């Protein structure tokens, strides 16, 4: 499908304010892609489709997960996670997206995952910090994102985990793995830097 057709179709599936959010994510993902050396067109495509299922009925999202071999453990966690995996399936099967990196960026934009690829990080972070977002700590995340994708995402995950703990909710294990993986990645970068300095 052409970009314009995808945009028109996705826009129909959500309220106006959610489409405004999607436009913010598109814009932010392109900026981050250019800043960190990723393909801006892939970043934008993943951003256009990241919330395609967000406003589908919850039972419909659950059906997509159940019937198409998506991770069944998701159904035991917060419904906010479901649209990402359902959305990646829809992006592939209804919109013809075949690029695995784009599909993964859609799939993991809410939870993160261990060993996140650069495109995953960009879409996840763009979703956190697009211009319409206004929550405690978002300005800090935007500032950190000027210099480090990893540190900005860790700050984002920390905020999410804190929020879930305060609400007494379960935390999806993949989010903890994602956070730990990013910390390990930064530690490896530090070690590499120290080794090369001596």
pLDDT digits (tens, 9 = 90+) for 4-57: 999 999 999 999 999 999 999 999 999 999 999 999 999 999 999 999 999 999
Residues contacting residue 151 through CB under 8 Å, at least 6 positions apart: 144, 186
The C-alpha angle 98, 102, 104, rounded to 5 degrees, equals 105
pLDDT digits (tens, 9 = 90+) for 106-131: 999 999 999 999 999 999 999 999 99
Mean pLDDT taken over the chain: 96
Q: What is the Cα Rg of the chain in Å? A: 17
pLDDT digits (tens, 9 = 90+) for 62-107: 999 999 999 999 999 999 999 999 999 999 999 999 999 999 999 9
pLDDT digits (tens, 9 = 90+) for 127-159: 999 999 999 899 999 999 999 999 999 999 999
At 198, the pLDDT band (50, 70, 90 cuts) reads low
**CA–CA dist 28, 100 (Å, integer):** 21
**Tokens (6 digits) for 70:** 């998506």
Contact status, residue 75 vs residue 65, Cβ threshold 8 Å: yes
- 3-state DSSP assignment of residue 30: helix
Cα torsion angle, 97, 98, 103, 105, sign: negative
**CA–CA dist 110, 172 (Å, integer):** 10
DSSP tag of 134: -
Contact status, residue 149 vs residue 121, Cβ threshold 8 Å: yes
């Amino acid at each position: 499908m052409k970009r314009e057709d995808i945009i028109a179709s996705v826009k129909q599936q959500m309220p106006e304010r959610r489409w405004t959010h999607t436009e913010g994510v598109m814009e932010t993902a392109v900026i981050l892609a250019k800043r960190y050396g990723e393909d801006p067109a892939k970043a934008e495509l993943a951003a256009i489709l990241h919330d395609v299922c967000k406003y589908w009925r919850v039972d419909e999202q659950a059906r997509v997960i159940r019937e198409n071999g998506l991770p069944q453990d998701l159904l035991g966690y917060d419904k906010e996670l479901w649209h990402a995996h359902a959305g990646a399936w829809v992006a592939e099967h209804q919109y013809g997206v075949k690029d695995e990196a784009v599909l993964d960026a859609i799939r993991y934009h809410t939870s993160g995952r261990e060993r996140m690829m650069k495109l995953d990080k960009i879409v996840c972070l763009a979703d956190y910090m697009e211009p319409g977002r206004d929550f405690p700590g978002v300005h800090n995340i935007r500032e950190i994102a000027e210099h480090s994708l990893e540190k900005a995402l860790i700050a984002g995950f920390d905020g999410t985990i804190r929020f879930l703990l305060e609400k007494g909710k379960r935390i999806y294990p993949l989010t903890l793995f994602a956070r730990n993986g990013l910390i390990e990645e930064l530690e490896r970068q530090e070690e590499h830097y120290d080794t090369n300095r001596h």
